[in-house]
């Protein structure tokens, strides 16, 4: 079985999306790219995240050829593909229909840095122009709007985020959802104060060294 570890991770994080209320039922999709082999492991279309088995994960090339698996890949596989082809910093992607980020996307509002944690995705999170799900147009719109960013809101749809692995992609989705909730609730009682460009540049620099570092020998 190809990409066994990747299959297990996709199943685990798919369940985690539902358990943390970041998506519902079959809404959303996840993938991991093996850059050396040129293979993408992606969740299947239309199967509940708690029902997916390792053999249901589809292994495919970026040209769309199925290498291993009997299921139909996610309808959004082209959107995952465009990032793997053009962003060497991204080897894992998560698309979800989170509540507050989707509200922002439905309003066609970019997420500004009203909270410093927006910096996990960049200086802000843009909204990509609307296009029908599963189309090359949606993939292109998402890619363009996510330049220099790690996440993008999909107009009238949801969110997609990318990182070097699923852990970091999940963390980005989670933080963008939190910041979207904060922003919407703040706007319900007043006008949020937006952090300036200099502060967000500083935040991006800080985030490069954030977290635990290995002890020196």
pLDDT tens-digit map of 42-98: 999 999 999 999 999 999 999 999 999 999 999 999 999 999 999 999 999 999 999
What is the residue extent of each domain of the chain? 4-207
Multiple choice CATH, 4-207, 3.40.225.10, 3.40.640.10, 3.40.50.11890, 3.40.1160.10: 3.40.225.10
Cα separation of 128 and 159, whole Å? 10
CA distance 19 to 29: 15
For the question of whether the overall pTM of this predicted structure is more than 0.85, the answer is yes
Inter-CA distances, 172 with 13, 118, 149, 200, Å: 13, 9, 11, 16
Per-residue pLDDT band for 211 (boundaries 50, 70, 90) equals low
Pick the catalytic residue from 68, 76, 88, 174: 76
- pLDDT tens sequence across 19-43: 999 998 788 999 999 999 999 999 9
Spatial separation of the C-alpha atoms in residues 132 and 154, rounded to whole Å: 10
Active site residue 76: yes
What's the confidence (pLDDT) of residue 210?
Answer: 66
Q: Do 149 and 127 form a contact (C-beta atoms < 8 A)?
A: no
Residue 209: which pLDDT band, with cuts at 50, 70 and 90?
confident
């Amino acid at each position: 079985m190809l990409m066994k570890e990747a299959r297990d991770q996709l199943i685990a994080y798919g369940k985690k999306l539902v358990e943390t209320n970041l998506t519902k039922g079959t809404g959303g999709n996840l993938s991991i790219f093996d850059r050396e082999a040129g293979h993408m492991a992606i969740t299947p279309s239309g199967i509940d995240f708690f029902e997916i088995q390792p053999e249901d994960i589809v292994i495919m090339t970026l040209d769309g050829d199925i290498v291993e698996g009997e299921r139909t890949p996610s309808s959004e596989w082209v959107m995952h593909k465009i990032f793997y082809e053009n962003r060497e910093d991204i080897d894992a992607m998560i698309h979800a229909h989170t509540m507050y980020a989707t509200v922002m996307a439905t309003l066609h509002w970019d997420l500004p840095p009203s909270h410093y944690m927006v910096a996990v995705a960049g200086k802000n999170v843009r909204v990509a122009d609307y296009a029908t799900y599963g189309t090359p147009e949606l993939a292109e719109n998402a890619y363009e709007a996510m330049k220099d960013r790690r996440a993008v809101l999909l107009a009238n749809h949801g969110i997609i985020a990318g990182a070097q692995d699923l852990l970091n992609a999940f963390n980005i989705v989670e933080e963008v959802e939190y910041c979207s909730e904060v922003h919407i609730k703040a706007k319900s009682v007043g006008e949020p104060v937006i952090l300036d460009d200099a502060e967000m540049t500083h935040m991006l620099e800080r985030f490069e060294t954030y977290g635990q570092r290995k002890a020196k020998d």
